[in-house]
Structure 1
């Protein structure tokens, strides 16, 4: 299996947690080839990441990404530009030529079970496989020119046919699309991936990229309130809540923030305690915000329409800021 992460120093600790969980829960895999694209990970942190791999009799391959000028022009690199996110578009150029299939994972993910079934997913004519993000609002889809019938997926986990990706020069095409929607895109490269690959994405069950705050959403809320057309069933969502394979700590309720009420935070700390990053302190200054966020989660269970109204309010504010920067 070929796995790739991209991280900077800020996310090195979370990468360490994810990496440990990957190795521990996939001990029986003969070959796990992990690539870490570093966008500024310090030497001490790199040493700790290598020690995690060594503990399991594995090695990691570090790829330094420093000069981005030949990939991204200055017109795209404004204050919202984050190479640790955009870097996933460069996997075709940065990974060795013999890598023809790769699983990209965000650093804020914890692997709880074997990912063999995920990795062996047949893509057919598709280029990538990913999990839908049904709470993305219609305005987001409209602004980036996404067809009504096309599903919007989360790009935090991407199973990529790297052979097709290279042959069709998709990295460059997605970067180009990012430029074309620069002034109306809230989610950068994720928006562009959806825009370019809209009809060539294999949909995965939610257990393979389960947002921890989706615990509070019912299937009915996703389909009726948010109007999502899902490729998976009510039972698939129930399974994901009870037995997620890959947990994704996306959103604001991060387990490493003091005061977080994340329902799956025990999984994060279980693995963190086993890593050389165990002494890294939690992030402070957000206890009140964490409480308010958790209250919003609880409201979601009772009245998901309120949650959607809150999301719409902040999304509209974000678009207003975008219009002001033109």
Structure 2
């Protein structure tokens, strides 16, 4: 499989956790990791490269020219950096022989094999992604100017048809869209992708991108304890800590934050106390039990 991720020096640890969880659950193949960055400190680059190669993976490092992204808006209050836009450049940066990649954000833990996702056919589609289940900003369809029947997908996990992106010069279209619509962008590159590719996106099962928002009781209640979603929340194949606080922050109440702790410990960088790990394990057990018995009432859930 071809895995693409983009980071700066602030997210090296989290990228390490994500990649470790990927390799631990996808053994037996020679995977390739393509890292997009404006530049990492040498010790950080070596940390990622050593991890990939320790699993017999191939590591490729690509520098992105930040000057090419001067028109791309990042606000002071945003919880991300310009690195979020790097995925829009994949078709131009990555080798031309790559026709398909899985793009992964770094605030992710992979709990299962993603071979099924990799094998998904993209014939006629620009990408495959998970719909946000109505958890997107309420003005999104009016703001981006398309019919809500297409839904709004999250860009943290993408199966990308690079051949399609190149055939239809999508990188150029992304730049043109940002140049003319930057004031509309609230969710950055994710808005760009939805605005231009909402009708060229194959919606895939929730399990491939189980967002933090899906764990909120308000969402679970609104979807009437949907059996498929209920199972996926208890058994997430790809767990995405979408919003703040993140599991590495002390104020995080995500019921599956323990999954991040487990892989961080395997990475040899855990700073979490025994008490923190114990409480996180208990929270996960309680959440799964409440969801399984369809316990109703916001007071029983932490999100």
TM-score with structure 1 length normalisation? 0.77
User: In the TM superposition, what are the counterparts of 1:25-174 in structure 2 within 5 Å?
Assistant: 25-28=25-28, 30-65=29-64, 67-69=65-67, 71-72=68-69, 74-76=70-72, 79=75, 82-133=81-132, 134-174=134-174
Is the CA contact (8 Å cut-off) linking 1:103 and 1:158 kept in structure 2? yes
Q: 1:275-314 to 2 correspondence within 5 Å?
A: 275-278=267-270, 302=297
| Deviation of 1:124 (Å) | 2.6
In structure 2, distance between residues paired with 1:130 and 1:214: 15
Shift of 1:35: 0.5
Residues 74, 82 of structure 2: 8 Å contact kept: no
User: Is the alpha carbon distance of 1:75 and 1:171 closer, same or farther for their aligned partners in structure 2, counting shifts above 3 Å?
Assistant: closer
Per-residue CA shift, 1:167-187, capped at 9, x if unaligned? Answer: 101122122222322112211
For 1:50 and 1:75, the matched residues in 2 are separated by: 31
In the superposition, relative to structure 1, how do residues 262 and 276 fare at CA in structure 2: closer, same or farther (>3 Å)?
Answer: same
Paired residue for 1:204?
A: 204
> What residue is the counterpart of 2:187 in the other structure?
187
| Aligned partners of 1:48 and 1:276 also within 8 Å | no
Q: How many residues align?
A: 273
- Verify the 8 A CA contact 2:6 2:87 in the aligned structure 1: yes
Q: How does 1:1-16 map to 2 (within 5 A)?
A: 1-16=1-16
Structure 1 stretches of 4+ moved >6 Å: none
Distance 1:223 1:279, change over 3 A: closer
Task: State the shift of 1:145 in Å.
Answer: 1.2
Q: 3-state DSSP class of the match of 1:181?
A: helix
* 8 Å contact kept, 2:33–2:52: no
Could you tell me which residue of structure 2 aligns to residue 20 of structure 1?
20
Partner of 2:249: 257
Deviations along 1:234-286, one digit per CA (max 9) or x if unpaired, are 332122111111100111131000132211111101111121544699xxxxx
Q: Secondary structure at the match of 1:40?
A: coil
- Name stretches of at least 5 consecutive residues in structure 1 with no aligned partner: 225-232, 282-300, 305-326
Q: Is the 8 A contact 1:34 1:59 kept in 2?
A: yes
- Residues 59 and 280 of structure 1, relative CA distance in 2, 3 Å threshold: farther
Q: Structure 1 CA distance, aligned partners of 2:268 and 2:59?
A: 16
Structure 2: any 5+ residue segments left out of the alignment? 274-295
Give the TM-score of the pair, scaled to structure 2: 0.83
- 2:230 is the alignment partner of 1:234: no
Deviation at 1:51, TM superposition (A): 1.7
CA contact (8 A) 1:128 1:160 kept: yes
